[in-house]
Amino acid sequence: MNMLFKNFMFYGLSNFANNYWVAAKGPTKIMYVFGGTSAFICLMAVPTYIFGKRMRSWWARNDLFVKWGLTTTGAASEMG
């Protein structure tokens, strides 16, 4: 199912990007957007490194799956 979703998503993205984005704005614009997105994701590694322990602690205390009633079944849910 994951592969099916990935294939449809990237087909749609390539269809949109080739037909509308690159044709209208040129390849330079799309490379700036992809480069900026990559730089942003790389820069997010710094606060994750600094505050990672706090973020993990918060997610461990505030399990959103349990709060929303989306509990999972299996060995992972018995870990505590």
Which residues have C-beta within 8 Å of that of residue 71, sequence separation ≥ 6? 65, 77
pLDDT tens digits for 5-57? 888 878 877 777 777 788 888 888 888 988 999 999 999 999 999 999 999 99
pLDDT of residue 9: 78
Q: Is residue 64 predicted with pLDDT exceeding 70?
A: yes
Model pTM score: 0.54
State the DSSP code for 68. T
Q: Under a CB-based contact definition with an 8 Å cutoff, are residues 71 and 65 in contact?
A: yes
pLDDT of residue 35: 92
What distance in Å separates the CA atoms of residue 36 and residue 32, rounded to the nearest whole number? 6
Domain boundaries in the chain?
17-50
pLDDT of residue 48: 94
Query: Residue type for 64, please?
Result: L
